[in-house]
């Protein structure tokens, strides 16, 4: 799938390309599955903040088999996954059948996951797992109270709900989709609330402490309201900007309640932590009911899914399957 500039816009088409068009790298991977993420949707529509140069092939996630490798740790036939770094942003990504990447971007696929299910997890699941890891590392225990997840029907949000619930936390899922109640309850949410239940009074610098911790995936006013509503010594993780990249707040929650705001950047997550997260997601943090959290579509059908995502109509994960 190649995105090209055309007049004043951008067009997407499936094209035959040569491996000679790929950048230098240590490992050549035959991609079996990829996924659709918000960054992919932006890249696929010409967002220069994500992708600087076109023509370009999006796909920040990829899973498949090694074809060639100059790195001794990988051999032809090894089943691997590649997520994050610059894949799909400025390096041709998983919406192509072949990628070439540095060896230190590549992770052997752990037992318990297939190429398809690993892409159901993908960057979204890794980001959710990293967010939950930050919450638990900050000392949030089950007896502290409710944990809020915003943007709960999205890829990151839905995985965060499921992982937190499986860990035993009381999870409050916030969403702007009124028809998502059963979906989120099936993932393990204790309660589903609307965005308006999080907002509170924007004029007030502080709100009553409701949340032991917050996993925020949307940013903007929702994140600002969440910061005002965290219990003393609580923690808020943030990883998204779909609502707004700007954050308007005061220092009061930080200096009066001692709360912490932790940014979660999965794209540049060190490879050692990435190995650990994949192992956890294939084992103790493997999501029950994963099959109900994603849909698999052919590469030819990605166009419609890009539009749905940018219109805020996506739910769960979209896995992209290449031809056999």
Contact 124, 37 (CB under 8 A): yes
State the Cα–Cα distance between residues 148 and 126, nearest whole angstrom.
18
- Sequence ranges of the domains in the chain: 2-109+290-321, 122-263
Q: What integer pLDDT is reported at residue 240 of this predicted model?
A: 87
Q: What is the mean pLDDT of the chain?
A: 94
Q: What integer pLDDT is reported at residue 312 of this predicted model?
A: 82
Q: Measured between alpha carbons, how far is residue 283 from residues 194, 225, 260, 308 in Å?
A: 32, 34, 29, 32
Crossing angle for the helix pair 115-137 and 155-166, nearest 10 degrees? 70
Handedness of CA 284, 171, 129, 100 (dihedral sign): positive
Task: Indicate the CATH number for domain 122-263.
Answer: 3.40.50.720
Q: What integer pLDDT is reported at residue 15 of this predicted model?
A: 95
Contact 269, 134 (CB under 8 A): no
Contact 258, 236 (CB under 8 A): no
Q: For residue 100, which phi and psi values (nearest 5 degrees)?
A: -130, 125
pTM of the model: 0.90
* From the candidate CATH numbers 3.90.180.10, 3.40.50.300, 3.20.20.100, 3.40.309.10, the one assigned to the domain spanning 2-109+290-321: 3.90.180.10
**Residues 106-126: tens digit of each pLDDT:** 999 999 999 999 999 999 999
Residue that has been written with the tokens 């799938």 in this structure: 1
Count of Cβ atoms closer than 10 Å to residue 300 Cβ:
11
Same fold: 2-109+290-321 with 122-263: no
Q: What integer pLDDT is reported at residue 57 of this predicted model?
A: 97
**Residues 62-113: tens digit of each pLDDT:** 999 999 999 999 999 999 999 999 999 999 999 999 999 999 999 999 999 9
**Residues 192-240: tens digit of each pLDDT:** 999 889 877 778 889 999 999 999 999 999 999 999 999 999 999 999 8
**3-state class of 296 per DSSP?**
strand
């Amino acid at each position: 799938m190649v995105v090209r500039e055309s007049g004043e816009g951008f067009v997407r088409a499936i094209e035959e390309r040569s491996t000679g068009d790929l950048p230098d790298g240590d490992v050549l991977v035959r991609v079996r599955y990829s996924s659709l993420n918000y960054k992919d949707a932006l890249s696929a529509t010409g967002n220069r903040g994500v992708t600087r140069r076109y023509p370009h092939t999006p796909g920040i996630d990829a899973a498949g088999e090694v074809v060639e490798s100059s790195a001794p740790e990988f051999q032809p036939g090894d089943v691997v996954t590649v997520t994050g770094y610059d894949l799909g942003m400025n390096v041709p990504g998983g919406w192509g059948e072949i990628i070439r990447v540095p060896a230190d971007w590549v992770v052997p696929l752990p037992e318990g996951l297939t190429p398809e299910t690993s892409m159901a997890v993908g960057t979204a699941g890794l980001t959710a797992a990293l967010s939950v890891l930050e919450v638990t590392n900050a000392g949030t225990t089950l007896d502290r109270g409710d944990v809020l997840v915003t943007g709960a029907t999205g890829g990151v949000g839905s995985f965060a709900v499921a992982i937190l619930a499986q860990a035993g936390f009381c999870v409050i899922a916030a969403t702007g989709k009124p028809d998502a109640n059963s979906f989120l309850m099936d993932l393990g949410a204790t309660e589903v609330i609307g965005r308006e239940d999080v907002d509170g009074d924007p004029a007030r610098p502080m709100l009553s402490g409701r949340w032991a911790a917050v996993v925020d995936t949307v940013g903007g006013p929702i994140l600002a309201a969440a910061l005002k509503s965290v219990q003393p010594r609580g923690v808020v993780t943030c990883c998204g900007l779909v609502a707004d990249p700007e954050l308007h707040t005061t220092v009061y929650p930080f200096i009066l309640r001692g709360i912490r705001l932790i940014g979660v950047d999965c794209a540049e997550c060190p490879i050692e932590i990435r190995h650990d997260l994949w192992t956890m997601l294939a084992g103790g943090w493997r999501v029950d009911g994963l099959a109900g959290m994603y849909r698999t579509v052919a590469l030819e059908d990605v166009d419609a899914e890009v539009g749905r995502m940018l219109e805020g109509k996506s739910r769960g994960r979209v896995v992209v399957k290449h031809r056999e």
